[in-house]
């Protein structure tokens, strides 16, 4: 399997002659990565360890306070001005390493001292209260493994696109925190409260309104991600977690919650995160509908004739993945893929399908059905339901990969207009 990261590494090692590396005179060769993969990475240095023909004859480095990736693996996010995307094609399972979790923020990442940070809960409550981060950590905690996906997570337009390019704004973590219902019980919620406003303490002072039913269902205030404190770009020290809801609503750097009779109609829930449906504009679409993508094989990987394990992820903001079907004949026939157990609700679910490729040019696709009976649509079906002026939000079409005779894999972009 030729994954993007490995390929980059080979390019990198190719710049140094094998003799230099084998000579062992230098313990480490430092290469400026930026010159090799301009635009792909930040200015970082790639340190190549001494490589010998037989690692059993040389004693390696000892223990260290902080682990690092193998220098042969270079998965990286793909940043733009406003977001960075998870390299889904480099992932082997469903947990996203925290440093590869996608980012989307609206006025940069704030630096927050957890000792000074507080959460205010007020509005239609019996007792308006402030909670320090230490207070929040004292409450009974739970772990929840779920995805967070940006509502604007669909790109198309050319064949040379990776899963990261197409829908890299989805990632999964095991989050730890307190159920929001416990905090709501602590302040006492008025019967009149039907919504709550959540506000971040970034420079955008981001706000969204959330129906109160979500608080009594599965909303959390989380402070840890994959066992350690949340990363700054994910909302350190605390963020709201709304499993299955638009990423934007999972307010990061959370500082305030206000209980209200009605929604606030903030900028992010009116002029953004809304989309045309025929001659109307749909707002308050919170749940992310079911979606799947084959991550292997995908562009820019190449395949050989013979057995190929098709791999990918499927998820639904409405519950569990019921089944995933794979087509290896451009959508003419579909067969069931194997789902990796345990299948969790509102979580990326890994699927696999064994395929014996004879070398014919074809297209491979996946489609998911969730536990509500929703079947992932084609782009044409979405256009039929919503009209051809589809906005960029809540787009979950079936993704097809073209397999060429020579084993080249390319994205199959579709047009609707």
Partner 1 sequence: MNKKTVLILACPLVLLLMSLKTAFISSSEEKPLTDSLKRPAKFGFGRRATAQEIAAWDIDVRPDGKGLPVGQGDVKKGRLLYAQKCAMCHGVDGTEKPGIKLPGSALVSDTLATSKSKTIGNYWPYATTLFDYMRRAMPYNMPGSLSNDEVYSITAYLLNANKIIKADMVLDAKNLYKVVMPAKKLFIMDDRKGGPEIK
Residues near partner 1 (CB under 8 A) are 81, 106-107, 120-122, 127-132, 135-136, 138-140, 182, 185-186, 197, 199, 203-205, 207, 255-256, 258, 260, 262, 264-267, 270-272, 274, 276-277, 279-287, 289, 318-319, 370, 372-375, 377, 381-382, 384-386, 389
- Cα 214 to Cα 146, 282, 318, 350: the distances in Å are 15, 20, 12, 26
Pair type for strands 254-260 and 118-123: parallel
Q: Minimum CB separation from partner 1 for residue 191, in Å?
A: 18
Q: Minimum CB separation from partner 1 for residue 186, in Å?
A: 6
Q: Minimum CB separation from partner 1 for residue 304, in Å?
A: 37
The Cα 234–Cα 251 span in angstroms is 9
Instruction: At 306, list the tokens.
Output: 């013979």
Q: Minimum CB separation from partner 1 for residue 336, in Å?
A: 18
Choose between 141 and 408: whose C-beta lies nearer to partner 1. 141
Choose between 26 and 82: whose C-beta lies nearer to partner 1. 82
Contacts of 59 (CB under 8 A, 6+ apart): none
Instruction: At 7, list the tokens.
Output: 């390929």
Largest CA distance in the chain: 76
Choose between 301 and 369: whose C-beta lies nearer to partner 1. 369
Q: Minimum CB separation from partner 1 for residue 372, in Å?
A: 3
List of E strands, 43-161: 45-49, 78-79, 83-85, 103-104, 118-123, 129-132, 142-149
Phi and psi at residue 32, to the nearest 5°: -70, 115
Choose between 282 and 412: whose C-beta lies nearer to partner 1. 282
Cβ burial, residue 113 (10 Å; 0-12/13-18/19+): exposed
Q: Minimum CB separation from partner 1 for residue 321, in Å?
A: 13
Choose between 227 and 392: whose C-beta lies nearer to partner 1. 392
Q: Minimum CB separation from partner 1 for residue 10, in Å?
A: 36
Choose between 58 and 185: whose C-beta lies nearer to partner 1. 185
Choose between 26 and 265: whose C-beta lies nearer to partner 1. 265
List of E strands, 86-205: 103-104, 118-123, 129-132, 142-149, 170-179, 195-200
Q: Is 236 helix (H, G, I), strand (E, B) or coil?
A: coil
Cβ burial, residue 406 (10 Å; 0-12/13-18/19+): exposed
């Amino acid at each position: 399997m030729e994954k993007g990261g490995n390929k980059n590494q080979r390019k990198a090692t190719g710049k140094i002659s094998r003799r230099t590396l084998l000579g062992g005179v230098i313990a480490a060769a430092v290469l400026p990565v930026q010159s090799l993969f301009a635009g792909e990475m930040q200015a970082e240095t790639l340190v190549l360890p001494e490589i010998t023909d037989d690692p059993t004859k040389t004693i390696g480095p000892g223990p260290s306070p902080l682990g690092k990736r193998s220098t042969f693996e270079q998965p990286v996010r793909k940043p733009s001005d406003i977001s960075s995307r998870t390299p889904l094609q480099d992932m082997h399972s469903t947990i996203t390493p925290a440093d590869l979790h996608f980012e989307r923020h609206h006025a940069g990442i704030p630096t927050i001292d957890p000792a000074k940070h507080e959460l205010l809960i007020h509005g239609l409550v019996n007792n308006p209260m402030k909670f320090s981060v230490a207070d929040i950590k004292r409450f009974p905690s739970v772990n929840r493994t779920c995805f967070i996906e940006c509502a604007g997570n669909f790109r198309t337009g050319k064949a040379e696109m990776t899963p990261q390019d197409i829908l890299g704004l989805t990632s999964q973590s095991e989050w730890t925190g307190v159920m929001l219902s416990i905090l709501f019980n602590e302040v006492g919620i008025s019967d009149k409260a039907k919504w709550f406003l959540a506000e971040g303490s970034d420079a955008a002072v981001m706000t969204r309104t959330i129906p109160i039913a979500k608080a009594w269902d599965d909303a959390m205030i989380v402070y840890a991600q994959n066992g350690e404190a949340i990363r700054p770009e994910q909302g350190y020290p605390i963020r709201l977690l709304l499993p299955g809801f638009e990423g934007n609503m999972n307010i990061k750097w959370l500082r305030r919650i206000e209980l209200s009779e009605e929604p606030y109609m903030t900028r992010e829930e009116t002029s953004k995160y809304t989309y045309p449906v025929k001659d109307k504009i749909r707002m308050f679409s919170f749940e992310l509908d079911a979606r799947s993508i084959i991550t292997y094989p995908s562009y820019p990987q190449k395949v050989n004739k013979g057995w190929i394990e098709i791999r990918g992820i499927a998820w639904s903001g409405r519950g569990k993945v019921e089944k995933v079907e794979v087509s290896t004949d451009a959508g003419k026939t579909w067969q069931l893929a194997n789902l990796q157990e345990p299948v969790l609700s509102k979580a990326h679910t890994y699927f696999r399908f064994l395929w014996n490729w004879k070398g014919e040019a074809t297209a491979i696709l996946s489609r998911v059905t969730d536990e509500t009976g929703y079947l992932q649509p084609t782009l044409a079906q979405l256009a039929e339901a919503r009209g051809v002026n589809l906005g960029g939000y809540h787009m979950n079409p079936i993704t097809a990969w073209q397999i060429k005779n020579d084993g080249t894999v390319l994205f199959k972009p579709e047009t609707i207009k």
